[in-house]
Amino acid sequence: MSVRRALTAMMLAPVAALAQPAALSPAEKTGFAGRVESCWTLAQGVDPRVTLRFAMTPDGRPVADSFVVVGTAAQTAFEAARRAVLRCARAGYDLPKDRYDAWDLIEITFTADGIGAMS
C-alpha cells in the first residue's frame, strides 16, 4: 500500500509541473516572428519554403549548431532561413525569460505566401 502511494506521488508531480509552463501570448509570438522576418532575405525566383527547428539559450540566442530541417527543403532555403534567425539574434531575442521552457525549442515554418508567387 505504501509503495503504491509513493509511486502515485512520483507520477503526479511531474505531470503538474509539465502543465505549468505558460505559452507565449499571440503578441509575444508576433513580436518574435517580426524580428526574424526582418532578417529573412528572399532570393528572387528561389523556392524559400523550409521548416527548421533549433534550440535557444536562456538569454534568447539560438544555439548555432542545433539547426535541423523538419521534413525536406532545398539546402539553400535552409541556409537562408538559418541566416535570418542568427542574424537578428545579435543582441538576443526579447523573449520572456521566466518562461524559458515555452521557447527553449523553436520550430519556424518559412513560406513566401505573404509576398505572392516567388517562382
Partner 1 sequence: MMRRAAFALLAAALLGPLPALAQDAPLRIEITEGVVRPMPVALRFEDAGGAGELLGDITAVIADDLNGTGLFEMTEPESSPATGFDRTVDYIAWKATGTEALVTGQVALEGDSVMLRFRLFDVFAGQPLGDGMQFVSPREGWRRAAHKIADQIYARITGETPYFDSRIAFIGESGPATERVKRVGVMDYDGAGVKWLTSKDDLVLSPRFSPDGQTVLYTSFASGVPQIMSLDVETVTSTALTRDPRAMSFAPRFSPDGKWIAFSRESSGNTDIWIMEVANPSFAKPITLGPAIDTAPSWSPDGRHIVFESDRSGSSQLYVMRADGSEPTRISFGDGGGSYGEPAWSPRGDRIAFTRQTKAGSSIGVMRPDGSGEQLLSEGGRDSGPSWAPNGRVLIFTRLTADDEVPQLHSVDITGRNMRPVALNDAASDPAWGPLLP
Residue 52: enclosing H or E segment and its boundaries?
A: strand 50-55
Residue from 41, 68, 94, 97 touching partner 1 (CB under 8 A): that is 41
87 is a site residue for partner 1 (CB under 8 A)? yes
Query: How far apart are alpha carbons 32 and 25 in whole angstroms?
Result: 11
111 is a site residue for partner 1 (CB under 8 A)? yes
Task: Spell out, one character per residue from 4 to 33, where the chain touches partner 1: x when CB under 8 A holds, - when not.
Answer: ------xx--xx--xx---xx----x--xx
46 versus 59: smaller Cβ distance to partner 1: 46
Distances (CA, A) of 74 to 49, 54, 80: 8, 17, 10
93 is a site residue for partner 1 (CB under 8 A)? no
b (16+ CB within 10 A) / e for 20-59:
eeeeeeeebeeebeebbeeebeeeeeeebbbbbebebeee
Residues that bind partner 1 (CB under 8 A): 10-11, 14-15, 18-19, 23-24, 29, 32-33, 36-46, 48, 53, 55, 63-64, 74-77, 79, 82-84, 86-87, 90, 101-115, 118-119
